[in-house]
Amino acid sequence: MDINLNGKVALVTGASKGIGLAIARTYAENGATVVLTARKQEGLDEAVTTIKGETHAIAAHAGDPDAAEATIAETIERFGRLDVLVNNAATNPHMGRLIDVDLPRWDKTFEVNLRGPLVWIQSAWRQWMQANGGSVLNITSIGGMSPGGAIGVYDTTKAGLIFLTRHLATELGPKVRVNAISPGLVKTDFARALWQGAGEDASFPWPLRRIGQPDDIATAALFLVSEQASWITGTVTVVDGGAVTSRAG
């Protein structure tokens, strides 16, 4: 089965490193023109040098509606279309019990992780996808599927993003598909606090025993926005090495 994005234009938020960069790279390698966004232009410029394919980098704050509007407008003006939107950008300023969070950090987490995806989807819908169709992919987390753990504020936003994904799928079909991926523990700088004590050969307490890599998520992300997934919407695909199944996640 030949999965490709030939002729498509994709925009990926939080794309300067980690899962976002892996998704951007995989899309470009499989035929898409990819627009990468993140807060800092310097990191984006470095990221695009690692990608083979047509790319463009635009610095934009994922929680800023004006930035979303301008970035999507520039994408359409430059490339003539916007077929795929990946909401990957996220933040986690509070580590610890949810009950102890101060409101500024609560608000910041929701601004980027939940309000942010909504405003990017709204802008993509209004500027292109409502008339022309497309695919939206939200990166959530298995933490949003069950309570407990040390990042309850982050997980609460991801639970909200899971619901948002499913609900918008009911509103935006049939022209626009909306799906999500819920990763388990992936070896990224963003999740460093959760894995940094483990050695290179560490065995983890879930069926596949290893920590995830960004490319594990990118492979699923390629399929879900491709034509091969044209009858899939409103789904949350868990990519976690079996952590949820084993209740170790």
User: How far is 152 from 146, CA to CA, in rounded Å?
Assistant: 10
The answer on pLDDT for 191 being more than 90 is no
- CA–CA separation, 161 vs 45, rounded Å? 29
The whole-number pLDDT of residue 195 equals: 54
**Predicted confidence band at 198 (pLDDT cuts at 50, 70, 90)?**
low
Domain ranges of the chain: 9-195+210-243
Q: 9-195+210-243 belongs to which homologous superfamily?
A: NAD(P)-binding Rossmann-like Domain (3.40.50.720)
pLDDT of residue 200: 62
Does the active-site annotation cover 27? no
Catalytic one of 120, 125, 128, 154:
154
Largest CA distance in the chain: 50
Tell me the C-alpha distance between 55 and 62, whole Å: 19
pLDDT at 249: 43
Tell me how far apart the terminal alpha carbons of the chain are, to the nearest angstrom.
32
3-class SS of residue 183: strand
Question: pLDDT digit string (tens) for 89-145?
Answer: 999 999 999 999 999 999 999 999 999 999 999 999 999 999 999 999 999 999 999
Share of the chain above pLDDT 90, in %: 84
- Quick one: residue 158, left, alpha or beta (phi over 0 = left, psi -120 to 50 = alpha)? alpha
Distance CA 88, CA 25 (A): 14
Residue in the block written with tokens 């102890």: 100
Task: Characterize 150-187 residue by residue with b for buried, 16 or more Cβ atoms within 10 angstroms of its Cβ, and e for exposed.
Answer: ebbbbbbbbbbbbebbbebbeebeeebbbbbbbbbbbb
| Residue 134 near residue 83, CB atoms below 8 Å | yes
* pLDDT for 202 beyond 90: no
What is the average per-residue pLDDT within 196-209? Answer: 73
